[in-house]
Structure 1
Amino acid sequence: MKNFFNKTGIWILAAAVVIVLTLSILSATGTGLLNNIAGTIASPFRSAGAAIGNWFGSISDKFDSVEALQKENEELRKRVAQLEDANRQAETDSQENERLRSLLNLRQQRRDFTFESAKVTQYENSNWASTLTLNRGTSSGVAVNNCVVNETGALVGVVTEVGLNWCTVATVLDTQAQFGATVFRTGESAVAMGDLELMQSGKLKLSYLSGANTPVGGDLVLTSGLGGYYPSGLVIGAVEDVRTDDSGLTQYAVVQPTVTPSSLVEVFVITAFDIVD
């Protein structure tokens, strides 16, 4: 028993010394045992937490970058749209200026004409008609049988119906439209008129050719002004080819008009002109 206590005492004493020394060391470093153990255990978690925090931070930065890019992209799109609008407006203004310059030249070239400008409000094209509706009528001096031209003086058609502030124009393609015409190269007189068959292809007919001076492709066709109903010298179009009618006795020419009615925005009504004998 004495030996037991001696051995046990030695081990207890040794353990006590170790504990005291350990506590002394921990006390000297300012860190408690439990705190030290907890810190050791928590250290990996703190590292992981820091890494996760950094990852979320980088994701947040990326989201901020994406939002900034989206905002910049939206601003660029708005700017492009504004530039496109400005370009369209500039193109429209340029076309308007070109029309006005052409009209000024036309007024200077044809001082025997009195013009009334008009906007095209409607275009109708069917199997039997090709007409325009304009925003000018009797209040502007427009009357039935007034000729209508574009800004270069090419014939558009003739007024067939008129109201106070509107009128209807039968274009050169319409079957109601007939004009005394002349072939500029040969001086031959004929009649330019709409034709149901040719109207579908955007062309008209030059009838009553004498046969003495047959027109050829490319010949210019103008209004003759004979009878004083319509002004002379208005460009109708150009001869495309010459054909023989179904009877085989007479010829007629197919004419491609200078004006395309469906593309017209503004036209000019000739409300008065000097008759040239």
Structure 2
Amino acid sequence: MKDFLRQNGILLVIIALLLTILIGVGTAFMGGNADPLSNVVNTVTSPIRNGIAAAADWAEGVYNYVFRYGQIQEELDSLRAQVAELEDQVREGQEAAKQNERLRELLDLQAKREDFVFESARVTGRSTDNWASTLTISKGTSAGVEAGDCVVTSTGVLVGVVSKVGLNWSTVSTIINTDIEIGGIVTRTYSAGVLEGDFALMGQGRLKLSYLPHSAQLVSGDEVLTSGKGDVYPSGLVVGQVEGIFTDPSGMTRYAVVVPDADLSSLVEVFVIKDFDIQE
């Protein structure tokens, strides 16, 4: 083979040069169409070139993943931090809106009852047993709240009475709790009685207006307010509506079953009446 190359090397070079020239001239004269030899060469080598290009793309992707992973992770961490910051801003905005709404409700309530001194509070807990109906609120002695203070909704509807007080919390016995006794009056007939919780009715979300006179002509839907009798609790607080009237088992008195106007199961914000003027 070496002898062959020594003897014919110059000839082979000349042949290669001639082939190159012929391919170039043929391409020029064929107006851009590939000559047969170029076509064969490109057809054979095209899959190889494509494979090399695909391998190069894959290698570039692997390189970017390996060497840019830290940068990508930093960008993701930065985006997560921005999202968390935006979520905090949204929560702060929502809380500010709620605070403004509470202040507006307090001002509206104060305008309706200028004889009351109110303290707003959030409901932070509810009784979870069947033996009592109580709420826990976010204000206590540090805000001037005392046991015996009435608690109402933003529209002035009676929720209950503060029964226990801590430094920054209080327990409220709702109006259907069995330890409640408040003077009540029916606005249509001026029939007076005592609003009190009843264990059997508590499970139904009701209370009683007891000790009504036999002459009381009540009908379903009559409005019941606090009477203020005894000057312990303020008068004129909306309690609820009469659902029905019944005779006591003793036969001596009558009582009405009252449906509270306050939705005790969904309260979020309440107002404590810390002081009030006695209505003569």
The TM-score normalised by the length of structure 1 is: 0.70
- In the other structure, the counterpart of 1:26 is 15
- Sequence identity, in percent? 48
Q: Where does structure 1 lack aligned partners over 5 or more consecutive residues?
A: 1-18, 32-38, 65-74
Shift of 1:222: 0.7
- In the other structure, the counterpart of 1:68 is none
- In the other structure, the counterpart of 2:125 is 122
The within-5 A match list for 1:1-277 is 26-29=15-18, 44-53=43-52, 93-246=96-249, 250-277=253-280
Task: Spell out, residue by residue over 1:76-114, the C-alpha distance to the aligned partner (whole angstroms, 9 max, x if none).
Answer: 999999888777665554444333222212212211112
Q: Where does structure 2 lack aligned partners over 5 or more consecutive residues?
A: 1-7, 21-37, 65-77
3-state SS of paired residue (2:230): helix
Letter in 2 for 1:49: I
- Give the whole-Å Cα distance in 1 for the aligned partners of 2:227 and 2:137: 25
Q: Is the 8 A contact 2:159 2:262 kept in 1?
A: yes
Shift of 1:127: 1.5
3-state SS of paired residue (2:212): coil
Letter in 1 for 2:157: A
3-state SS of paired residue (2:265): helix
Shift of 1:274: 1.2
After TM superposition, the structure 1 stretch with the greater mean CA deviation from structure 2, 100-109 or 39-48, is 39-48
- Give the whole-Å Cα distance in 2 for the aligned partners of 1:40 and 1:197: 99
Q: Which has the larger radius of gyration?
A: 1
Distance 1:43 1:90, change over 3 A: same
3-state SS of paired residue (1:236): strand
After TM superposition, the structure 1 stretch with the greater mean CA deviation from structure 2, 230-239 or 240-249, is 240-249
Distance 1:91 1:250, change over 3 A: farther
Distance 1:93 1:206, change over 3 A: farther
Q: Is the 8 A contact 1:142 1:162 kept in 2?
A: yes
Letter in 2 for 1:233: G
- Give the whole-Å Cα distance in 2 for the aligned partners of 1:219 and 1:80: 54
- Give the whole-Å Cα distance in 2 for the aligned partners of 1:51 and 1:243: 95
CA RMSD of aligned residues (A): 4.2
- Give the whole-Å Cα distance in 2 for the aligned partners of 1:44 and 1:148: 91
